[in-house]
Amino acid sequence: MFKKRLVSTILSCLLLILILVNVLLAIGNQSLQSEAGERQQAIAQAIQLEGLYQHVVSLIAERAVKTNDAQLKELLTASGFSLNNPEAGTSRR
């Protein structure tokens, strides 16, 4: 009888530990899913704005070439853009 009770108690404690581990893993998983969702949203927003950014850079490059503005050209070059062909706009390195 004592042996059955001891085994029963040990199994109950083991079950309780497994339940606690499961809860902790679920909380950690929820946190990771939330972080992944935020990153996915940021990527989607960046993709939506990419066309706008390219248009703005093209306008700045056109302005730099038309006015021969050295500061704008330096800004574009420092940002990784080159003004190889003024007719075609800018190209990225």
What is the residue-wise DSSP string for the chain?
Answer: -HHHHHHHHHHHHHHHHHHHHHHHHHHHHHHHHHHHHHHHHHHHHHHHHHHHHHHHHHHHHHHHHHHT-HHHHHHHHHTTEE-S-TTT--EE-
Tens digits of residue pLDDT in 41-56: 999 999 999 999 999 9
Whether 87 shows a pLDDT value over 80: the answer reads no
Domain span including residue 85: 2-92
Burial (Cβ within 10 Å: 0-12, 13-18, ≥19) of residue 90: buried
Question: What pLDDT, on a 0 to 100 scale, did the predictor assign at position 1?
Answer: 84
Pick the more confident residue, 89 or 60: 60
Domain count, the chain: 1
